[in-house]
């Protein structure tokens, strides 16, 4: 019984790092070759990393990417390699394609061009790429295989349908599909449906790793013709995964094959015969099928990987975090320790005149639980000096949010001073609920290089801490932090609820307004007062200017701030 | 001799302000009606303002925009009104179009859908809109008129070609075309060519006004069939402009008219007869044809309008600016005074230990020339308190950029304190050359709401100051500021050239690398040392994280930072 062995390289490339990406690709090819895989598939744009954004507008970048592919080509001997890269038409114009190379025996056999270009959410592919117009089908040792890219498979009548209609029995879909909670389920459901509808085996290989605001979660998998998952990679880790297909079995399902032009759009179906002998005497392999984690575990792992990769890929060794004894900074410190190790995480406790004994205790307890160092830098002397310096000009004015912000910005300045002096990246600690309504100080607690939990609603911040404590079997985040009332401690007896509705209410309004684009009439049907909804909506609309200057952070919801939600600052639209 | 009178309303809408936009549109309709215009044309998306960005994803926003159009419809009686709005298919799906309504006698006669959707530079139209598939031709009192939208006219074989081939003698092209230096020339050249090639009269109406990073410069115009400019509006001002076309003359140029389906793409050409009698007894009008300004005048006016509209449309009354006695802050203060009046501009002089007597003198001289108030807030006491507070932790380290940044951030904090306390918007003063190479302190001199000259290279900063002084016939920017050496004054005897190449060299490298995407080999051919180019390129690549957190500012070059240049922060690409 001859088997076709397919390897899926769930790889973590770095945007623009051609030498390292090529090295990684070649090392995976060697490993797959050693296990006598016939085919190895890499993620979308594995050569360049994803998304390269406006690097794609540089002709030199495109040329360097093609040179990088050349290096991979000459290293691919006894295995067919399917590799994502940027293809270019041989013309003077800058006409480029999101493409996959099909390499066999050190020869570039064919190049597939992505047909469906996503241009919504975080995606801008129409900004860069032309659409493909060909549906190649590769005949590899008698098996007809269709290759397509990411978004292509989400379209019911798209390449999978055409390629399978014209004879493909196996589809390899290569991806750089960014994470949000629950996305892995959506992908598997959809791919499973495509497999059943088109009677094909589908291999789905995804990228893994963090890139600025995005985390690619991996979770590559394959489904059989009945739509059952036959193999599934871990999320958030690099993996080289194998599965075998019985060729006789495929032949029994063999459909007609044809070379035909689909005239409607001038698009072409082509059968391309690849001179390749399926390899015999394959060593045994263990088929992986990881169980999918819970939502909290998934989100937590996404945050750890996104943080780790931002730090490492940007060349930082350590981070510094302003610790307040509150739940947000506790979570961020915990994530940082899980990402890069306790020895590389430095805490900074910066008490104000209004900081409580509890905050002090909880900060040091957290630090002890995590095994990280904390430096204590009181800000009250500096604050008093600001007040003195400003006294003449502020004479006769009431104390207001100004004085709160001065303190937050002193902390920002001190954190940045440590960053400048010792080269540590500052992680900010604001959550999505705060950022949505602008309950944060620009250049104050918003100051830093990476905003780990900026897309995590406050209610989920609690759940994540609970999950993390439970996983550890002991308190990592001190127990009191989980139940004491949230406060910014920037004036006497301050509570978040002085300004905001309780977080469960706030988060449900924010989900409806920010993530689901619901109109005011729809949100009004929710169980909270109209005035409260109006206030929240107004706060969201009026704090766009702050979000524009916020550091990047990891997308974990279906709609994050940043590239995912592009709002005008100058905006007089009133939806309430 | 019957004349068709066309009015072009070069209007300044505000994004999302439906009530005010409608009021403005109706008031222009009344004015044009009084002068017996037959047709009035408004800019692209005049109802919503441009670009509405992700407001377009909100179904409620689309509905409110259609309700706003309804109000305009019922107010358009004896004139044909052509009005940009967002059209929606009557279906459950969110399928929308960048559209123009054609209204006659209070009836909505037709809706044209934009065919060519720009998705490059600052544009994201594929993110929101579907493409149109119809080419309507309106027969108005015997004259065949084609309407199309902005990008449509840039395509040689596009709507102008089709509409004129099928009988249109007049084309009305409605725009929201953002400014960059020299763009007005490009537009007129291109439109003039279209007119000659297709033997049509073309009216080009543009939006005017500032919207976050963009300024729409207006400069609406019309060309005759020989491609000559027959009318031209001022740039950077609202205008209602008229011109007449001799109908007999058009009839002599009458081409065939036909109703036909272009089968290739399932697109349709339609002739739509509008029941409308061209109005007689028209009062005389004076035809405007403004002379185009010099490049410096144009840029300066763009900066003034962009600043004014950001301030006004966001509801600020005044601004505060950190004045250093240098050329950047001098220019920004001058622009601010020209934008909103000297009584609304407040200067803040914040000397450090390293601030020179010259800086003090030049600041107060500038303030005197402009007639603005300056407050003097020395930062050295606060700075010393920071050093004292950090002494223990910084013990044994060398003085470096950290101490410079602390001072810049103290200034940022003080500026923001004034902003918080008195409600003034902080204008930042950094230029494009600095921002390109990251020669600026995040949360320090980069702190503020609007970055007036962030897209102005330092060499142009000098030219603008010279132009402004010459225009005034006296020094506004003090003469010494124009020739003394630039310095940040954050350490003893500091000069910009300690860190950067001379600005003329720097700006020429930046233009090649940032604006023109030239490869390293191409830039190397320029007249400067390879090491110098490498250094500059490296600095540009490594400061993306700073630019990501910069406030918005006005685009004046073909490629600005911000939405116009989307770069990854995590980026290991080395082009040198």
Q: Do A405 and B420 touch (CB under 8 A)?
A: yes
Give the pLDDT of residue B249. 80
Alpha-carbon torsion (A322, A323, A328, A331), positive or negative? positive
Please, what is the average pLDDT of chain A? 94
CATH number of A295-495: 3.40.50.620
Query: Could you tell me which chain A residue has the CA closest to the CA of B209?
Result: A570
Q: Where are the beta strands (DSSP E) in A309-355?
A: 319-323, 345-349
pLDDT at A261 over 50: no
Of residues B418 and B492, more confidently modeled: B418
Q: Per residue in B189-219, pLDDT tens?
A: 999 999 999 999 999 999 999 999 999 999 9
Straight-line distance from the first to the last Cα atom of chain A, in angstroms, rounded to the nearest whole number? 67
Whole-number Å distance between alpha carbons of A241 and B186:
55
Burial of A215 (0-12, 13-18, 19+ CB in 10 A): buried
Q: Which of B362-366, B402-406, B521-525 is predicted least confidently?
A: B521-525
Strand partners, A484: none
pTM for this prediction: 0.96
Separation CA B204–CA B221 (nearest Å): 5
**Which pLDDT tens digit goes with each residue over A405-463?**
999 999 999 999 999 999 999 999 999 999 999 999 999 999 999 999 999 999 999 99
Task: Name every chain A residue with its beta carbon within 8 A of the beta carbon of B314.
Answer: 545, 569-570
Contact A52 B568 (CB under 8 A): yes
B44, B298, B404, B434: which one is catalytic? Answer: B44
Concatenated DSSP letters of B162-199: HHHHTT-SEEEEE---B--TTHHHHHHHHHHHHHHHHT
Q: pLDDT band for position B356 (50/70/90)? A: very high
Query: pLDDT for A166-193, tens place per residue?
Result: 889 999 999 999 999 999 999 999 999 9
pLDDT tier at A199 (50, 70, 90 boundaries)?
Answer: very high
Top residue of A403, A415, A560, A572 to mutate, by most chain B CBs within 10 Å, is: A572
Q: How far are the Cα atoms of A357, A495, A516 from residue A544, in angstroms, in the given order?
A: 35, 23, 17
* Least confident segment among A494-508, A547-561, B99-113: A494-508
C-alpha distances in Å from residue B364, one per residue of B360, B426, B477: 6, 19, 11
pLDDT beyond 80 at B475: yes
Residue A368 is a catalytic residue: no
Report domain extents, chain A: 3-274, 295-495
Question: What mean pLDDT comes out for the span A362-382?
Answer: 98
**Residues A523-534: tens digit of each pLDDT:** 988 878 899 999
Res. B72 pLDDT band, cuts 50 70 90: very high
Q: Which two tokens stand for residue B188?
A: 């007129």
Q: Which residue of B has its CA nearest to A513?
A: B58
pLDDT digits (tens, 9 = 90+) for B270-285: 889 999 999 989 999 9
B575: nearest CB among A60, A388, A566: A60
Residues A55-84 have pLDDT tens digits of 999 999 999 999 999 999 999 888 999 999
Distance from CA of A126 to the nearest CA of B (A): 7
Model pLDDT, residue A260 = 52
Split at pLDDT 50, 70, 90, the class of B222 is: very high
Residue A263 has pLDDT above 60, yes or no: no
Rounded-to-integer distance, Cα A87 and Cα A179, Å: 26
Q: Do B402 and A386 touch (CB under 8 A)?
A: no
pLDDT band at B94 (very low <50, low <70, confident <90, very high): confident
Q: Which of A24, A36, A125, A150 is catalytic?
A: A150
Going B129 to B134 to B135 to B136, the CA torsion angle's sign is negative
Q: Where residue A262 falls among pLDDT bands split at 50, 70, 90?
A: low
| CB-based contact A568 B212, cutoff 8 Å | yes
pLDDT confidence band for B488 (50 / 70 / 90): confident
Q: What is the mean pLDDT of residues A80-103?
A: 92
B537/B354 Cα distance (integer angstroms): 30
Give me the CATH code for the B296-548 domain, please: 3.40.50.620
Check pLDDT > 60 for residue A94.
yes
**Which residue in B has a C-alpha nearest to residue A378's C-alpha?**
B389
Active-site choice (A3, A24, A114, A454) = A114
Please report residues of B whose CB lies closer than 8 A to that of A210. Answer: 570
A263 is catalytic: no
Please report the pLDDT score of residue A256 as a whole number: 55
Q: What pLDDT digit, counting tens, does each position of B1-31 carry?
A: 689 999 999 999 999 999 999 999 999 999 9
The pLDDT assigned to B261 comes to: 47
Q: What is the pLDDT of residue B91?
A: 73
Cβ of B569 within 8 Å of Cβ of A314? The answer is yes
Which pairs with CB-CB distance under 8 Å and at least 24 residues apart come from A529-537? Answer: A532/A501, A532/A505, A533/A509, A533/A576, A534/A576, A535/A501, A536/A437, A536/A501, A536/A506, A536/A509, A536/A510, A537/A509, A537/A513, A537/A575, A537/A576
Q: Cβ of B55 and A548 within 8 Å?
A: no
Six-digit token string for A25: 């690709």
A381 with B388: Cβ contact below 8 A: yes
The mean pLDDT value for A337-348 works out to: 98
pLDDT for the residue numbered B576:
80
What would the mean pLDDT of B454-465 be, rounded to a whole number?
98
What is the structure's pLDDT at B254? 60
- Contact between chains at A575 and B60 (C-beta distance less than 8 A): yes
Mean pLDDT of B121-137: 96
The pLDDT, as a whole number, for residue B255 is 62
Judged by average pLDDT, the poorest of A294-303, B62-71, B202-211, B524-533 is B524-533
| Low-confidence winner among A21-35, A264-278, B91-105, B385-399 (lowest mean pLDDT) | A264-278
What is the enclosing helix (H) or strand (E) of A460? helix A458-472
- Split at pLDDT 50, 70, 90, the class of B296 is very high
Of the candidate CATH numbers 3.30.565.10, 3.60.110.10, 3.30.360.10, 3.40.50.10320, the domain formed by A3-274 belongs to 3.60.110.10
Share of chain A above pLDDT 90, in %: 86
pLDDT over 50 at A557, yes or no: yes
Straight-line distance from the first to the last Cα atom of chain B, in angstroms, rounded to the nearest whole number: 67
Active site residue A384: no
* pLDDT band at residue B357 under the 50/70/90 scheme: very high
Which comes out higher in pLDDT, residue A527 or A265? A527
Structure tokens at A149: 């890219």
Which residues does B34 contact at the CB level (< 8 Å), separation at least 6? none
State both tokens at B287: 């035809």
List the single best residue of B568, B574, B575 to mutate versus A (max A Cβ within 10 A).
B568
pLDDT band at residue A268 using 50, 70 and 90 as cut-offs: confident
Tokens of A401: 């949010």
Tell me which residue in B385, B402, B574 faces A385 most closely, judged by beta carbons.
Answer: B385
Q: Is the dihedral of CA A272, A273, A274, A279 positive or negative?
A: positive
Residue B264 burial (CB count, 10 A): 6
Q: What is the DSSP letter of A160?
A: H
């Amino acid at each position: 019984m001859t088997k076709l062995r397919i390897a899926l390289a769930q790889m973590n490339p770095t945007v623009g790092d051609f030498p390292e990406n090529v090295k990684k690709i070649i090392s995976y090819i060697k490993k797959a070759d050693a296990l006598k895989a016939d085919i190895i598939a890499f993620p979308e744009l594995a050569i360049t990393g994803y998304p390269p954004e406006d690097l794609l507008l540089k002709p030199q970048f495109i040329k360097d990417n093609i040179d990088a592919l050349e290096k991979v080509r000459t290293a691919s001997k006894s295995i067919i390699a399917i590799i994502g890269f940027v293809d270019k038409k041989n013309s003077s114009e800058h006409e480029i394609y999101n493409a996959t190379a099909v390499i066999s025996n050190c020869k570039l056999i064919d190049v597939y061009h992505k047909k469906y270009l996503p241009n919504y959410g975080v995606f801008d592919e129409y900004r860069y790429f032309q659409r493909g117009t060909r549906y190649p089908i590769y005949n590899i040792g008698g098996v007809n295989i269709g290759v397509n890219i990411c978004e292509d498979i989400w379209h019911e009548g798209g390449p999978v349908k055409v390629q399978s209609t014209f004879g493909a029995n196996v589809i390899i879909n290569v991806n750089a599909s960014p994470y949000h909670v629950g996305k892995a389920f959506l992908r598997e459901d959809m791919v499973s449906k495509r497999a059943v509808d088109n009677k094909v085996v589908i291999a789905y290989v995804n990228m893994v790793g963090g890139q600025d605001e995005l985390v690619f979660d991996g979770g590559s998998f394959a489904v059989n013709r009945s739509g059952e998952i036959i193999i599934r990679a871990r999320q958030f880790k690099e993996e080289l995964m194998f599965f075998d297909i019985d060729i006789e079995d495929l032949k029994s399902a063999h459909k007609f094959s044809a070379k035909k032009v689909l005239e409607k759009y001038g698009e072409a179906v082509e059968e391309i015969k690849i001179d390749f002998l399926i390899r015999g005497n394959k060593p045994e392999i263990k088929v992986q099928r990881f169980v999918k984690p819970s939502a909290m575990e998934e989100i937590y792992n996404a945050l750890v990987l996104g943080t780790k990769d931002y730090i490492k890929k940007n060349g930082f060794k350590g981070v510094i975090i302003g610790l307040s004894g509150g739940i947000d900074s506790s979570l961020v410190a915990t994530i940082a320790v899980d990402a890069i190790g306790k020895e590389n995480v430095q805490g900074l406790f910066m008490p104000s005149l209004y900081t409580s004994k509890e905050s002090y205790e909880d900060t040091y307890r957290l630090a002890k639980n995590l095994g990280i160092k904390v430096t204590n830098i009181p800000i009250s002397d500096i604050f008093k000096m600001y007040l003195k310096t400003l006294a003449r000009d502020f004479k006769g004015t009431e104390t207001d949010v100004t004085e709160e912000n001065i303190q937050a910005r002193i902390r920002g300045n001190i954190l940045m001073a440590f960053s400048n002096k010792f080269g540590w990246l500052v992680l900010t600690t604001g959550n999505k609920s705060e950022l949505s309504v602008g309950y944060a100080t620009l250049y104050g607690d918003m100051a830093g290089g990476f905003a780990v939990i900026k897309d995590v609603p406050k209610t989920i911040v609690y759940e994540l801490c609970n999950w993390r404590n439970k996983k550890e079997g002991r308190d990592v985040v001190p127990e009191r932090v989980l139940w004491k009332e949230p406060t910014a401690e920037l004036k006497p007896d301050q509570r978040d609820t002085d300004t905001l509705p309780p977080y469960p209410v706030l988060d449900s309004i924010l989900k409806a307004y920010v993530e689901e684009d619901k109109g005011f009439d729809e949100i009004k049907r929710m169980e909270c007062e109209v005035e409260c909804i109006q206030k929240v909506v107004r706060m969201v609309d009026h704090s766009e200017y702050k979000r524009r200057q916020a550091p990047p952070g990891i997308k974990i919801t279906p709609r994050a701030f940043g590239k995912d939600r592009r709002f005008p600052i100058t905006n007089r639209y009133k939806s309430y």
